[in-house]
Amino acid sequence: MEEIKELEKEKVEVVLERTRTLSPKLEILIRIAAVLIGIYEILFIFNFNYTLYDLFSRLGINIGILKITFQSKQGEAFVLAMILLITYILYPFRKREKELKKVPIYDYLLVALSLISMFYLFAVYNRYAEFAEVYMQDVIFGILAIILVLEATRRVLGWVLPSVVMVFLIYGIYKVGFNWIRFTQQLYFDEGIFGIPLFVMTIYVFAFVFFGAFLLKIGVSDYITEFMISLFGARPGGPAKAAVVSSGLMGTVSGSSVANVLTTGTFTIPLMKKAGYPKEIAGAVEPVASTGGQLMPPIMGAAAFIMAEFLGVPYNKLIIAAVLPALVYYSGVYLFIDLETKRLGLKGMPKESFPPLRYFVRKLYILSPILVITVALVWGIAPHISAISSLGIAIWVSWISKDKIEGHEMFYVGVAFLTTVLMFTGREIGKPVALILLLLALTLVALSFVSNLTKRNEKLYISLLFILFIAMTKYLGMRKEQILLMTGVLGIVFSLIVGYFSKTEEGRKMYSATYESMIDAGKTSTSVMLAAASAGLIQGVLTMTGLVTSLGYRLVSLTAGNLWLLLLLTMIFSLILGMGVPTTANYIITSLVAAPAIYNAVLGLQPYSSPVPGFGTPIALLAAHFFVFYFGILADVTPPVALASYAGSALAGGDFWKTAMNAVKYALAGYIGPYIYFTHPEMFIITVHPWTAGTAIKVAYDLGATLLVMYLLAIALTGWFKRSLKKEIRALLVIVGVAGATLNYLVIGIGLLAVLGIWFFGDKLPIVER
């Protein structure tokens, strides 16, 4: 099975993305750049340097150099400099065999120019921030930076996004009368490259990329996939249902549809084929489930963080708003797969094919980082702090889970759980908590001499490092956010130290996984950073020219104010744009162009004009942004491009078009759902105030009715409900299902009666095929 996974994964990676094979020296250069991104992010963007300064100050040590600070745009420039270096070394000008083996001279020149253009802004930004003056040399470096970002984007993401950006840039320079100073000021200093999208990427998204890279390397992703296979595999359609659940969980971490397919699909797709699913179904299930990962709280796609910034609504509120839509999406996928499984007459796979379920249940604590990050986000802790703090827990439990390192597993789990709970306590009881943790550490050491619960090995050492460090910070009275940040960052250091001195194979693997995760995080962030920088240029032009306002009114005028037509055009625009533009850039463009138009179309209507309770953001704007967000993501499974479906079909060895059409069918809840959520915004939950029995019943009805609509359409499109259905009844169910998207009480009642009627009397109806 492992050999199949590797072969299939290699095949798809060659098809989807071809990067250079580098010499050892260049590989070291790339690794250094990737690590420098992580170090700079942690020290100066996450303000870890100030946290360290505070720690040492409380210990009576004054290290003034730790108080050094940089402007946010300087940090973005440094990160983008490293991203451009990685891009021009790793990605060739053209994907030809000759250019994949050697880095030509002109790419070294582009690397040098990239570093110069980015570090120039780093050097002069303090001067600009003080005087807001732009000189001709600034224009030169600004134009150079724009060109280099667009070429790097083309190499990594293809030609579509840079081409769209170029159209906007040409329009922008024309509208400002070829005023290059104003053009450069807007797109190099104020917004543009270093606008809100890149700011959000460096502040928030990188932390989650970092977190995801670690979970992939230290084995959490494999655990999730294998656990779901063991849980569902013996049931009818088990591998497909396992793919839905595991991909949904992993999608919250990876944030990339294609990456998720390549991660979990290499395991689930061969199993689905082995269970009897046709290639075009096996290849469709995984992309649909993987794509939905970007819709699944608590960690959604990168665009969700930008949405929070655009709307002025905290991210912890947005993940609450996304709960019911995500539930509907995955329920719809599950219903389709369940009916397809019954239609095909598939049985479960032998239990002997999977590891015993009790093994995975015993190790359920491996998922504790996802629980920790969820709790932290809901409590309102900053997203990047939440991600980094969960990283520390992930590293600790990963060491505990190693079977070949002695020590009572559940005992260590209890210790980790207790320590984590105490870590979240307030400063007012810091000293008693520190004493408890110190006693806990002494107990672990004592037990290592007299009991088999602990041994003097890696599990004990990593646990002591975490416990003693948290005890010290609690004793010193440091803030909760500071402790969480330090635990995550120093957890990496602890893992490297323990792994480096480890003499066991498991310990050396953890050392390697920790080190490689830091490098992978830097490499993986390349695509999202470049997409954000390029999309920021579009945002800058729209703001500079005033087009961001006028386009909305023009769209409303074009559709004569018809909301349904406007929503339909927005959906088509998002899907077409998303076929060549990454989700993040797609969301930025459509949210700036189409979302204001949708907002204007319902302005003055209730409940749209009411603000989201506790915030000034109108409900209409929240619903409009979610609408474009959904369709930007679904472009990954929508033909003719459908990159996620392409990856799935390549892994399954099936026909692309059949696979893509199946994917569209299974993702139907994603295509219909946004219309329902927009017209029934109470389904976002955070829009409801006050909560009463009536509003609770209304939300429950909306959810139940939406699920019934998905069930009706799943029955109609699969043509199966206990037995095959004739075309006539399928057509009627489609009509009722589509009409039911209004959630009209009468239509939903008819739909419910239809399902009950087929359930009880289907075998007696003449329109049912036997």
- Please provide the DSSP assignment of 41-84 as one string: IIIIIS-HHHHHHHHHHHTT---GGGG----HHHHHHHHHHHHH
Average pLDDT over residues 267-272: 83
Q: Is the Cα dihedral 250, 252, 253, 259 positive or negative? A: positive
Q: Average pLDDT, stretch 109-118?
A: 97
Asked if pLDDT for residue 770 goes beyond 70, the answer is: no
Predicted pLDDT of residue 613:
92
Checking if the pLDDT of 763 tops 80, the result is: no
Question: Residue 584: its pLDDT value, please?
Answer: 85
615: helix, strand or coil: coil
Confidence at residue 558, expressed as pLDDT on a 0 to 100 scale: 80
pLDDT at 526: 92
pLDDT score of 106: 95
pLDDT at residue 5 greater than cutoff 80: no
The pair of structure tokens assigned to 23 is 């010499």
Specify the higher pLDDT residue, 48 or 301: 48
pLDDT at 12 over 50: no
Q: Say if residues 84 and 118 touch (Cβ distance below 8 Å).
A: yes
DSSP annotation of 611: B
Structure token pair of residue 71:
């402007």
Task: Flag whether pLDDT at 8 surpasses 60.
Answer: no
CB 634 within 8 A of CB 586: no
Average pLDDT over residues 287-299: 87
pTM, two decimal places: 0.89
What pLDDT score was predicted for residue 1?
41
Distance in angstroms (rounded) separating the CA atoms of residues 269 and 275: 10
**Taking residues 411-415, what's their average pLDDT?**
95
Q: Which residues contact 129 (CB under 8 A, 6 or more apart)?
A: 71
Binning pLDDT at 50, 70 and 90, where does residue 214 land? Answer: confident
Using DSSP, state whether 355 is helix, strand or coil: coil
- Tell me the average pLDDT of the chain: 88
Is-contact 198 182, C-beta < 8 A?
no
**pLDDT higher than threshold 70 for residue 764:** no
What local confidence, expressed as pLDDT, does residue 252 receive? 58
pLDDT at position 762, please? 63
Give the model's pLDDT for residue 298. Answer: 84
Whether the predicted pLDDT of 652 surpasses 60:
yes
Query: Which pLDDT belongs to residue 135?
Result: 94
Mean pLDDT of 551-567: 82
What pLDDT sits at residue 254? 53
CA distances from 622 to 567, 595, 601, 613, 666 (A): 14, 9, 14, 12, 26
Sequential DSSP letters for 694-763 = HHHHHHHHHHHHHHHHHHHHHHHHHTBSSSBB-HHHHHHHHHHHHHHTT--HHHHHHHHHHHHHHHHHGG
Which 3 state secondary structure label does DSSP give 311? helix
Q: What pLDDT sits at residue 459?
A: 95
Find the helix packing angle between 619-634 and 583-601, rounded to 10°.
140
Q: What confidence category does residue 296 fall into, taking pLDDT thresholds of 50, 70 and 90?
A: confident
Q: Is residue 605 over pLDDT 70?
A: yes
Selected residue with higher pLDDT from 170 and 546 = 170
Residues in the chain: 770
The pLDDT, as a whole number, for residue 16 is 45
Tens of pLDDT, residues 445-494: 999 999 889 999 999 999 999 999 999 999 999 999 999 999 999 999 99
Sorting pLDDT into bands at 50, 70 and 90, what band is 13? very low
Query: Is the confidence at residue 326, as pLDDT, over 50?
Result: yes
Above 60 in pLDDT, residue 333?
Answer: yes
Lowest-confidence range among 159-173, 250-264, 655-669?
250-264
Q: What pLDDT does 11 receive?
A: 42
